[in-house]
Chain A
Amino acid sequence: AQKVTQAQTEISVVEKEDVTLDCVYETRDTTYYLFWYKQPPSGELVFLIRRNSFDEQNEISGRYSWNFQKSTSSFNFTITASQVVDSAVYFCALRMNTGFQKLVFGTGTRLLVSP
């Protein structure tokens, strides 16, 4: 079975602090895809990143970076110099190579960035 665990339910930081959101996944498949989505207070799901299981290169996009480690089945997300606008719920998700794009989501981490 596939499963995504986000052990941190809520994190509070002060603006400009760095913060890392943890994601641990379980799957028996050798090919799979990992995602991060942001859900701001307005409720929509905003796609942040997709990573496939063969690409363990870390990625940086502005203040966002992702650390994918297959050995520990983790796909952690770091926000550098956090801003108030980063306040949201962040979901990690897993998708198999087969099937019709069914995403398995974690329970989300609520990030609160205060000024």
Chain B
Amino acid sequence: EPEVTQTPSHQVTQMGQEVILRCVPISNHLYFYWYRQILGQKVEFLVSFYNNEISEKSEIFDDQFSVERPDGSNFTLKIRSTKLEDSAMYFCASSEERGYTGELFFGEGSRLTVL
């Protein structure tokens, strides 16, 4: 069964460092998303991406964050200068369509720890 894959599964970094989280969405999917879950809290929407541009973003997704689809398969989330509060589990998701039939498939998450 096709799945969304994320790397790394866990990354530890120092405050102020740049981090790139990578995702390989399901191959025929067109819509891509990043969500974040701070430990023990709810899952929060960060950004959606379609047709090589951001379609929607939340207040969390400030100038420190960027997303990119550098080639036909990867979808990345970059945090330019990490802060302690960026420590969280980051989930990538993709969907084939936008409407009701466009079910969201989540990856297993990348845990980011900022020291």
CB proximity to B under 8 Å, residues A20-67: 33, 37, 42-45, 47, 50, 52
Interface residues of B in 41-88 (CB under 8 A from A): 41-45, 48, 50, 55-56
Q: Is the CB of A100 within 8 A of B55?
A: yes
A72 interface residue, CB < 8 Å from B? no
Q: Which residues of B contact A102 (CB under 8 A)?
A: 33, 45, 48, 56
Q: Which residues of A contact B107 (CB under 8 A)?
A: 44
State how many residues of chain B have any CB contact under 8 Å with chain A: 27
Least CB distance from A90 to B in Å reads 12
Residue A99 at the chain B interface, CB threshold 8 Å = yes
Give the total of A residues in contact with B, Cβ under 8 Å: 22
A45 with B106: in contact, given A33-B100, A101-B95, A105-B43 (CB under 8 Å)? yes
Q: Are A43 and B89 in contact (CB under 8 A)?
A: yes
Inter-subunit contact B98/A101 (CB<8 Å):
yes
Interface assignment of B18: CB less than 8 Å from any CB of chain A: no
- In this complex, the member of A91, A102, A103 whose beta carbon has the largest number of chain B beta carbons within 10 angstroms is A102
Extra A-B contacts (15), CB below 8 Å, given A93-B43, A101-B104:
A33-B100, A43-B89, A44-B107, A45-B91, A45-B109, A52-B100, A97-B99, A100-B33, A100-B56, A101-B31, A101-B48, A103-B35, A103-B104, A105-B42, A105-B44
Binding site for B on A (CB under 8 A): 33, 37, 42-45, 47, 50, 52, 91, 93, 97, 99-108
